[in-house]
Amino acid sequence: MTSWMNWVYLAFGLGLGLGSRRIAQVFGKDKLAKTPLHSTSSVPNIDTQTVSKKLRQTQIAYQLVCELSQFKAGFLVRTAHELRSPLNSLIGLHQLILSDLCDNPAEEREFVAQAHQLALKLVKLLDEILDVARIENSSNELEIQPLQLTAIIEEIAHLTQTVAANRSIKIQVSPADPEVYILADPHWLRAVLLNLVDICIPKMEAGSITISSQTSFDTEAVDIFFDVPLPIDTWSEPLDAMQFEQQLSAAAVDNKVLSAGFKLLLNQTVLELMQAKLSFLPIPSDADVAQNTRIQVTIPLVIPEVEFLE
């Protein structure tokens, strides 16, 4: 009797277990079917175009920093002998005075005066080196703001005159209207203008670079001109956008130096981001082929607010 009851309990337990499992599976499927899926909604909506634009802008900003660093390094190399020459002369004059090799007090005073002028020249050169060292690198984000045109032009001339003088090249500036303001990022614009002058200098043997400007209120734009004694075909290196993007990416990874043509394309790309434009125009001459080129940077003009008189 006991054995028979045990078999009954065993069968009842197995039936209860299998039934509970079946009920759990049915209710589990029903619950899963009614539960909304949140996997797609949990993933943030990423704008691929925006990310690509930010990445490209970061690459351009990085390359601008590299170009500016190369300008600073080149400036120090090119001005090294500019420092050495007056310093050696200053040491020589002091040696003559200290060795009592002057013929008379008047000659000694003349040597002291020459040493004083050389010392002032050294101070001026050191100030220029410090000014170049203080140039701030551009950030990834554009900060478009009103900039005084004459201040920008004078700064570019000041920062490049020593490098140009090292190759017997003069930087000439036509005064701009101090009341004219342009819209641009100060760091990006400075880097572009410095780079344009720095590209021209190695290609020149002598002569001068003339910086001038022209304001057009009709088109609400300002043109900054760099007149250089180089033929227009100097800037005719064939380039395309695909090559530029490839070299820009390679330069960011391998820290490669861009060619002059790609540097110009980099400058043009940066200016376009600021709603500006880079152009190369031949300057007419008596010869069949123009021997001079005008590099033109067109930048949006700041339109002053009109004050109505009551």
3-state helix, strand, coil in the chain (%, to 5): 60, 15, 25
CA torsion angle for 286, 287, 290, 292 (degrees, to 10)?
-70
The whole-angstrom separation of Cα 212 and Cα 150 is 10
Mean pLDDT of 63-77: 71
Mean pLDDT of 174-202: 92
Question: Is 294:229 a contact under the CB 8 Å cutoff?
Answer: no
In this prediction, residue 211 carries a pLDDT of: 97
Q: Which region among 29-43, 108-122, 147-161 has the lowest average model confidence (pLDDT)?
A: 29-43
Mean pLDDT of 42-47: 55
CATH of domain 142-300: 3.30.565.10
- The contacts of residue 62 (CB under 8 Å, 6+ apart) are 252
- Give 128's Cβ-side CA count (13 Å radius): 22
| Domain boundary assignment for the chain | 142-300
- The count of other CB atoms within 10 Å of the CB of residue 165 is 14
3-state class (DSSP) for residue 155: helix
Question: Is 247:258 a contact under the CB 8 Å cutoff?
Answer: yes
Q: What is the pLDDT of residues 244-290, one digit of tens each?
A: 455 555 544 444 555 677 778 888 888 988 999 999 998 876 555 55
**242 — pLDDT class (breaks 50, 70, 90):** very low
Residue 120 to residues 86, 90, 109, 114, 115: CA-CA distances in angstroms?
A: 10, 11, 17, 10, 9
Mean pLDDT of 62-90: 75
Q: What is the pLDDT of residues 155-180, one digit of tens each?
A: 999 999 988 988 899 999 999 999 99
Q: What is the pLDDT of residues 91-129, one digit of tens each?
A: 999 888 888 888 898 999 998 999 999 888 888 878 877
